[in-house]
Structure 1
Amino acid sequence: MEAVANPLFLPNAPEPTLGKVRAHLDQGRHEYEMVIAHKTGAPADIDAVVAMISLLWHGQRDRHEGGPTSAPVTQEAAETAVHTAAILVHWISNGSIRKK
């Protein structure tokens, strides 16, 4: 996730992280849009993207083994994290999330 998201969303950050990408997108929701349309026909907002990144950031407790928030993860939770990350990487790398 970070390898794809950091250069796009935080190109000049000295120490970019997933949490910083999440904060950047959360605070700058008005600056980005999806290529898929909202029910109105206008480009969809990035609320789903921010929610999915937040899900990974808060829910994938094993990503920093031995850290203060590390916790055991079930097989189902690990698979969900991988698939969520895969969708996000796909969307970010193919331009599905774009600047307005």
Structure 2
Amino acid sequence: MKQAWLAAYGIDPDPDQAYDEAVRAVETVACPLICPNADGKRTLGTAIAVLRNDLVAKTPRWSLALPDASGRPASVDELIAMLTLLWEGQVSRHAGSTKSRRQTAAEAEAAVQIAVTLTQWLSSGVLQAAP
């Protein structure tokens, strides 16, 4: 996160690097927790797929420490949405593709901010095994 923050808000900002580092920081925390057995595919996309697959299962493996409207542990829907927003917003990751372009400063700053929240949630037990 430090590298992402410096690349976004430092003296010489680099939005592409900031976004890359934000994604990398989230992957570093998310993948060992969510998809520890993903051979060579420990990416944010893999973690999102695992969470989505678990969500459609009859007995989901994950919930959030935050309660939903009924007072029960909330579904991981919102976490998946946040992870997906970060992952799909990284338009600079596939250089040379028709959709690839440089990240803007606003995009990079938003990515860093969402990554701060995600890394905190994933490292502090907000995502937990379903009861």
Q: Which amino acid aligns with 1:23?
A: A
Query: CA–CA distance in 2 between the matches of 1:58 and 1:96?
Result: 23
Quote how far apart the aligned CAs of 1:70 are: 2.8
Query: CA–CA distance in 2 between the matches of 1:67 and 1:45?
Result: 37
Give the % identical residues: 36
Partner of 2:95: 66
Query: CA–CA distance in 2 between the matches of 1:12 and 1:81?
Result: 26
Quote how far apart the aligned CAs of 1:80 are: 0.7
Quote how far apart the aligned CAs of 1:85 are: 1.2
TM superposition score normalised by structure 2: 0.70
Give the paired residue count: 99
Partner of 2:32: 7
Are residues 99 and 67 of structure 1, via their aligned partners in 2, closer, same or farther at CA, if it must alter by over 3 Å?
Answer: farther
TM superposition score normalised by structure 1: 0.90
Quote how far apart the aligned CAs of 1:26 are: 1.0
Structure 1 residue 17 and structure 2 residue 47: aligned? Answer: no
Partner of 1:52: 82
Which structure has the bigger radius of gyration?
2
Query: CA–CA distance in 2 between the matches of 1:95 and 1:70?
Result: 35
Quote how far apart the aligned CAs of 1:67 are: 5.0
Q: Give 4+ residue runs of structure 1 displaced > 3 Å after superposition.
A: none
Partner of 1:28: 54
Query: CA–CA distance in 2 between the matches of 1:24 and 1:41?
Result: 25
- Unaligned segments of structure 1, at least 5 residues: none
Structure 1 residue 83 and structure 2 residue 121: aligned? Answer: no
Query: CA–CA distance in 1 between the matches of 2:64 and 2:127?
Result: 5
